[in-house]
Chains A and B, each alone.
Chain A
Amino acid sequence: MNNPEAFSERETSRSSGLGWEEFSREVVEFFASIKLAMFLFIAIAMTATIGTVIQQGERPETYVQEYGEDVYRWFVRLGFVDVYHTWWFTSLLGLLCVNSLTCFYKRFPAVWRSMRQDRVSVALSFIKGMKQHTEFKVMSSTEQIGERILRLFGEKGYRVLVKNDPGDLTIYATKGIMGRVGAHVAHLSATVIVLGGLLGSSYGFQEFGVCLEGQTYHIPRGNFDLRIDKFWIDYHENGSVKSYNSTLTVVDEGAPKITKTITVNDPLVYKGIWFYQSSYGDAWDQIEVARVNIKEKATDKVLKTVDLEWKKEKAVEGLPIKITMTDFVADFAFNSNEKKVFSKSAEHSNPAVRLAVDEKSSIQATPWIFYHYPDLFEVKDSSYQYELIGYQPKKFTGLQIAKNPGVKIVWIGSTMLVVGMTLSSLIYHRRLWAKVIPHQDGAVVHLGGTTHKSQIDFQKEFKKLTEKIETKQN
């Protein structure tokens, strides 16, 4: 903003009529403006708070219960139940991209030009118009003082260019252009990150799978199979959980490809699909072992306690009975239309086991026995009563299965953002011009400088430089 050229440019643009060029310039001006950037920053910040206060993506009943029906209707209308995917929120993000891209388009060419070549020779009025400028007389020759300034600027890490005109000597020095380049890199990164995000949400997926040990599951999205070899939990000394582990094997085209034990922070990746250890629990349709009491009906005495393994026939020692556990439900329910037993939920609130009982080959029955209701049913004509007194649940491992082809692009954008921001925070661009004009038996030095930020630091530096040039020669 200290650049006098910028003002003159603007004035000429205003005078030309309302043509297309004028219009497009105004549009660029608007979209590249910092005012818009600030508006967007604040607007996004404010609207983003909504989603942290109102629970996102819950079921309608949850909202109605908490806020009432009318408020809920407004929430839906305004998109407050899923703020981050509403048209207006995504538009704000889109506008931020447009904003930063237009800024790049408008301002980067100048930075690029000054990286490659800069105007060395400037008018004296240009130097005098700068925010930081000074002039002083020295008693040495133009060449001597020019040399001195050159050396000083060089020592301070400036890139120096000199132009020797007939009447005067102009020295141009610049430093820290990378600070401005950094800002533009950071601006571009916004769009890169958003593009990566879009790519991920259109071509990626995220699913959740409940998997049992020993089973093999087909992953249709990757056209390969995944076998769950093992799931277990490690504990710390004090009993808290140390890690959840699942050993997985990828089976592709019939052959095992990789085996890996995944934990919460260490997923398995195959063909771009990531498998995360996400949760675990007790299966609702299978158990490992059931413990069953066999009682004599007449005396109600426990004759035997047996442990039944899943779907394995067991001959009871000393009794003429063979039992197999054939089914399990965690939350018993009966569908009377289809005549089918099913589990109402994944909770183990009414566990029941179905047995296939073979008593001396004379009585065959398939009774359901209930953990909570031991006397509910009995096997007709049998002299025995079966009771489910305990069971060892089968653990399932909950896997998050995700593919995100945009993620690498997001990391590229992120790197650009961090590198760009760091450069632009630590380095600031400075330009200095010195004009040495011979005057009587010495010379007059005109020194001017501009920076686009850190005015105070620059002012100090400018003062120091001036003092050095002035005092060195006396």
Chain B
Amino acid sequence: MARSLFLFDMTFWLYLAALVLYVGYLFAKRPSLQLAPAGHPVGGFDDRDGAWATQLGQVATLVTIFGWIMNTLALTTRAYERMEHSGTFAPWSNQFEAMSYVSWAIILGYVLLELRYGIKAIGAFVVGIGFIAMGAASLLPYRYQTAEPLVPALNSYWIYIHVSVTLTSYAAFAMAGGLGVMYLLKERAEKKGSRSRFFDAFPDLETIDELGYKAIMIGFPLLAFGVILGAMWANYAWGGYWSWDPKETWSLIVWLIYGAYVHARMTRGWEGRRAAIYAIFGFLMVIFCFWGVNFLLSGLHAYA
């Protein structure tokens, strides 16, 4: 137990370091260069400050990747510990592990995004959310952090797929929420005519908007799949696939909220500012579905 908790701790500090580096990168004096498609700045490095900032960015990425590897190790170690103590290995069997898994998925998504699009500024927001998720997990009382054996209702192979799919969709929505915040900040800065370095590093509004939309388009079917897997599990465990339990209902509500978004986006031109605000609102609903329901409403999912 102690071993995985130590690794989770290390992950937390690495994510914090990555976040600080990304924010530092935003404030640093960067070379005013065009970014090549691969994401590496082209041109010379005569400007010493600029070179320094670029290195800062690279270090941020490395620390993030290192943190993610640590996160992976922590989850695998936890999986082994679970195998020893309880009949499952799913390292997302309580609130703490679920949070750690969500941050793992967020950071993985971010790293893939950075490798593909080479936009570092997003790191300050998305890695930030991953860090907050990890931090919130570590604030949970110790008894929530340990790998207690599963109650009989949870002890089933369904936990591997239902929980991981649902949590991955949460991670996608988290990413969309972070991009939404970025959009609003950037838009405000542009309206004010701010030429600060900070906002200059952001990708243009259209790109932020489109990336946010893509994140939701990944999360939306995943959530549907996760909810349906949950219904199938319920049909095996509780004798009915749908019982309007608060968690079920809230995941349906979240799905409907994003359903409205996807339809509005396609035809009613919900782009830019509106879409960004809506993505943030949706993410807040996800947080409520994930945390609020467990702690505020009673129901069949109140296992934590």
Contacts and interface: CB of A to CB of B under 8 A. Distances in A.
Contact of B256 (A41, A237, A243, A278): A41
A202 B156 CA distance: 30
Nearest to A49: B253
B202 interface: no
B220 A421 contact: yes
Contacts of B206: 456
Given A34-B264, A44-B256, A453-B266, A425 B221 contact: yes
B38 interface: no
B86 A236 contact: yes
Contacts of B85: 236-237
Interface in B277-299: 293, 297, 299
Q: Is the interface of B mostly helix, strand, loop or mixed?
A: helix
A51 B239 contact: no
Contacts of A411: 232
A452 B236 contact: no
Interface in B257-275: 257, 259-260, 263-268
A321 B135 CA distance: 71
Interface string A389-424: 000000000001110100100110010011001100
Contacts of B257: 41-42, 45
A315 B235 CA distance: 51
A263 interface: yes
Contacts of A45: 252-253, 256-257, 260
A422 B221 CA distance: 6
Contacts of A115: none
Interface in A366-407: 400-402, 404, 407
Interface stretch (B62-70, B104-112, B223-231): B223-231
B155 interface: yes
Interface in A47-61: 48-49, 51-53, 56
B152 interface: yes
Contacts of A143: none
Contacts, number: 128
Tier of interface size on chain A: 35 or more
Nearest to B86: A236
A52 B249 contact: yes
Interface string A23-63: 00000000000110110011011001101110010000000
Contacts of B24: none
Contacts of B249: 48-49, 51-52
Nearest to A238: B149
A165 to B, nearest CB: 34
B218 A425 contact: yes
B238 interface: yes
A102 to B, nearest CB: 14
Contacts of B242: 197
Interface in B146-186: 148-149, 151-153, 155-156, 158
Interface stretch (A119-127, A264-272, A328-336, A346-354): A264-272
A110 interface: no
A41 B270 CA distance: 16
Nearest to B151: A241
B39 interface: no
A125 B256 CA distance: 40
A56 B148 CA distance: 31
Contacts of A80: none
A11 B210 CA distance: 33
Nearest to A239: B149
Contact of B237 (A265, A401, A410): A265
19 contacts: A34-B263, A37-B260, A44-B256, A48-B252, A48-B256, A84-B244, A240-B149, A242-B87, A243-B155, A265-B233, A267-B236, A274-B239, A278-B239, A407-B235, A407-B241, A411-B232, A418-B225, A422-B221, A452-B266
Query: What are the 3 tightest A-B residue pairs by CB atom distance, in nearest-first order?
Result: A265-B156, A41-B260, A400-B239
Interface of B: 85-87, 148-149, 151-153, 155-156, 158, 206-207, 210, 217-218, 220-221, 224-225, 228, 231-233, 235-242, 244, 246, 249-250, 252-253, 256-257, 259-260, 263-268, 293, 297, 299
Given A236-B86, A404-B235, A410-B241, 6 more contacts: A45-B260, A49-B253, A264-B156, A265-B237, A400-B238, A422-B225
